[in-house]
Amino acid sequence: MDKAELKEVKLLATKIRKDVLEMLRHRGYGHLGGSLSIVELMAVLYGKVLHIDPKNPQMEDRDMVVLSKGHCGPAWYSALAEKGYFEKEKLMTLNDGGTMLPSHPDRTKTPGVDMTTGSLGQGTSSAAGIAYGQRLKGSKRFTYLIVGDGELNEGQCWEAFQFIAAKKLNNCIVFIDANKRQLDGYTADVLYPFDYAEKMKAFGFNLVQTVKGDDVEAIYEAILKAQNNTDGANCIILDTIKGQGVKFFEELKDNHSVKFSTDELKKAADDAIAELAKEIEEEER
């Protein structure tokens, strides 16, 4: 990634982060913490990696994204809007009645969404099936699976991982968003996860990488390495922070799903939106 491309990806990340805050501030509530922790990943995927065409969402040889942690759809919707799949004004209809942007992704409603998700764990199996089907067809398409660390409490995830590894589906790149928190608290307290890298290796993954989840260059390099690995299954563990990129929300205890019900929370969101808008304006000069 050259300097110009790096600048564009970082700018996209800033725009996605601002969009997420604006959407949820407008809605009055929503899954803020986990949406913000995948912002940089979404910026890298949609800004640099994916083989897609926003003008032709059903392009036959497109890469596919499966957001198994579907409650973090706002980050995905923003990336799609910024990429041109639909008008950015639609973002403010998040979770309205009849919206094309429901609380959790629905492939029948939103251009660019190829798999409906939201019931935790099920996206992992869907991604495994998609990648296996593409393998059988001899396709060179990639499937990018994004799963949360809290979601890994679901046994279905590990069944899917075992299948991906056993079939050596190197065309399915698994991202674990290790933001260390889930609905009920810290993952270490709810159900101690042990070492994700060692677990994925034990389940048969050939290449397991761990990178800082806010480092777009490191994420991009890890994806390139995974794409070039033809020997087996790939996993990239993202060391992230829930609420990533906005200090107030990183430190907020209950940042899984935030209700903007107090002046303090509203002001924190407004201040962050204003600061991000300023960063975008400066970068686009």
Whether the predicted pLDDT of 187 surpasses 90: yes
Q: If you ran DSSP here, which 8-state letter would residue 180 be given?
A: S
Q: Residue 1: what pLDDT?
A: 86
**Which residues constitute the domain of residue 124?**
3-283
Q: How far apart are CA 82 and CA 249, in angstroms?
A: 23
Segment 47-69 mean pLDDT: 97
Q: Mean pLDDT for the chain?
A: 97
Please state the pTM of the whole predicted model: 0.97
Q: How far apart are CA 50 and CA 25, in angstroms?
A: 29
Q: What is the tens place of the pLDDT at every residue in 229-270? A: 999 999 999 999 999 999 999 999 999 999 999 999 999 999
Q: How far apart are CA 112 and CA 106, in angstroms?
A: 10
CATH of the domain at 140: 3.40.50.970
Q: Report which of 216, 280, 208, 276 is spatially closest to residue 246, judged by C-alpha positions.
A: 276
Q: Residue 16: what pLDDT?
A: 98
Q: Which band of pLDDT confidence, cut at 50, 70 and 90, is reported for residue 285?
A: confident
Number of domains within the chain: 1
